Structure 1
Amino acid sequence: MNSSPAFQPGAKKHLGQNFLHDAAVIDRIVHAIAPKPGDTLVEIGPGQGALTFPLLRAHGALTAIEFDRDIIAPLSARAGEYGPLRLINANVLDVDFTALAADAGAERIRLVGNLPYNLSSPILFHAVDHLAAIQDMHFMLQKEVVERMAAEPGSKVYGRLSVMLQAVCNVVPLFVVPPGAFRPAPKVDSAIVRLAPRDPSTIGIEHPKVFSQLVRAAFGQRRKTLRNALNGFATSEQIVAAALKPEVRAEQVSVPEFIHLANIVARDAD
């Protein structure tokens, strides 16, 4: 009689669980990731292993971060069929990716995962904080979030997430995943996106904290002009010095222009 721990039926709504089951979609994701010998793969939220086991089969080893402790034992037991799986039972926002890379003896890790919709932005910003230790990221997210990540200036969905990610990564939407690929089926489309960190020497952000604060303030009230949105943070003179018009709105300002303005503000504060 098989006494191996089994996955509990159903998903936990409060954890935002939707389990991927479409084999064709899973194959496309593994192909997009294209794991190579020597890669250190880290999966966020393996769930019941829909992507974990194919990645183990393709690559041979994997680290996975899972918050739901009820999943740990059955995931570990089943993984034995495929390859060594290191499981970390933790909230991903508490995991130090830089330390994780060092512990694995890797210069950089490759992050993958089907991110819970209610935590996608915090996880993305957390990853950005450890970008020097990350080779690339392949995430499944709500399609609407991926559109925001990749949006260009002038778009209605261009905002803080667009600027903060595009400033430090190349953001490449790959393909859409329909609701039917999951159990239970979500009410929205999902999409796979690739984020590849930019060469640090090409980014040009002189003071990351000032840049982050400025972008947050600029998009804090989207309908306001830069002059009004940045009142108390950047002067009209600084905005003009960045070759921008004080009366434009944040959604019309490109990523390089935000970087230039933030650098001016940071230098003037020194």
Structure 2
Amino acid sequence: MKLLNQFKGADFVTLAAKTKDIIKYFNFEFNKNLGQNFLTDGVALNKIMDTAGIDDETFVIEIGAGIGTLTQEMAKRAFKVCAVEIDKELVKILKETLLNFNNVEIVHMDALNFNFNEAVKEYGDKKIMVVANLPYYITTPILTKILTSWKGVNSITVMVQKEAAQRIMADPSTHEYGPLSITANYYANVKKAFNVSRSCFIPQPRVDSQVIKMSIRKKPAAEVYDEKLFFTLIKTSFNMRRKTLLNVLKTFGLSIDEL
């Protein structure tokens, strides 16, 4: 119990040694299917906080809370943190590591199924921010969900694999440019914040990461008559890169005159 009590301190997870201790203490086994990597670098942690710009008027939704490394730091500054975690074993750990914070709610759930409207209905007067450390496999569906469905979010600060960041920030006519690039820039002003070396994580991933910030636009970057049709067209077009735009449009069942 003495060991567990020391884990309840607010700063225990900012060092790699302490992270290893808690993994050992709870006998936690990483789930490769979930792409789990815990940040252990205090400098990177502080830079994420500075990038997000969290204060006591902020309601934060954290996606992928892990063992609470970032959650603790956000809880020190935010009005409230809603920590969403899909792994039930990590939820057990979070209940211990976040015990000293009365402004944190732990939600055991797949973020794709998270009821955003229900979560924020009591906090309409607060700034709503999303902060996340996303594995590659879920980067596109999660960000697309947030950008298109979570109305009222002020900003998204996200750490992703470098390749994913390049796709999000890609310029037109580049190989990386695609539906995610268009969606992100349609809804937000996207800026790269900083790089995070693979050595800053346990276990160490194969690639480096980047932190980017998306500041949600008051109005989308372009006026679109039918957003659903617009994004369906974009997705179809990039899935049929070798075809002309006219042939892509024909797949929607429209005649030449209608086009």
Question: Which of the five TM-score ranges fits, normalised by the shorter chain?
Answer: 0.7 to 0.9
Contact 2:190 2:213 in 1 (8 A): yes
The residue that corresponds to 2:191 in the other structure is 172
Alignment deviations for residues 74-106 of structure 1 (CA, whole Å, 9 cap, x no partner): 212221335521011101000122222114445
Paired position in structure 2 for 1:116: 135
Q: Give 1:237 shift.
A: 6.5
What residue in structure 2 maps to residue 192 of structure 1? 211
Give the AA of the match of 1:9: F
Residue aligned with 2:69, SS: coil
Which residue of 1 is the match for residue 78 of structure 2? 59
Q: Secondary structure at the match of 1:40?
A: strand
The gaps in structure 1 that reach 5 residues or longer are 239-267
CA contact (8 A) 1:17 1:116 kept: yes
Report the residue type matching 2:181 in the other structure: S
Letter in 1 for 2:169: A
Aligned length: 240
Q: Tell me the distance in 1 between the aligned counterparts of 2:129 and 2:170.
A: 24
Give the letter aligned to residue 39 of structure 2: L
Specify whether residues 133 and 107 from structure 1 end up closer, same or farther in structure 2 by C-alpha distance, changes over 3 A only.
farther
List runs of 5+ in structure 2 lacking aligned partners: 8-24
Q: Secondary structure at the match of 1:219?
A: helix
> Could you state the TM-score of these two structures normalised by the residue count of structure 1?
0.81
- The aligned residue for residue 29 of structure 1 is 48
What is the CA–CA distance in structure 1 between the aligned matches of 2:168 and 2:253, rounded to whole Å? 25
TM-score (norm 2): 0.84
- On the 8 A contact 2:187/2:217 being kept in 1, the answer is yes
User: What RMSD, in angstroms, separates the aligned Cα atoms of the two structures?
Assistant: 2.4
Partner of 1:207: 226
Cα offset, 1:69, TM superposition: 1.2
Per mean C-alpha deviation after superposition, the further-off stretch among 4-13 and 218-227 is 4-13
Q: Measured at CA, do residues 13 and 194 of structure 1 come closer, stay the same or move farther in structure 2, by a change above 3 Å?
A: same
Contact 1:168–1:203 at 8 Å: present in 2 too? no
How far is 1:60 from its partner?
5.6
The match for 1:137 among 147, 156, 179 is 156
Moved over 6 A (4+): 234-238
| Mapped partners of 1:13, 1:180: distance in 2 | 18
Q: Which moved more, 1:200-209 or 1:178-187?
A: 200-209
Matches within 5 A, 1:37-48: 37-48=56-67
Distance change (3 Å), C-alpha of 1:78 and 1:232: closer
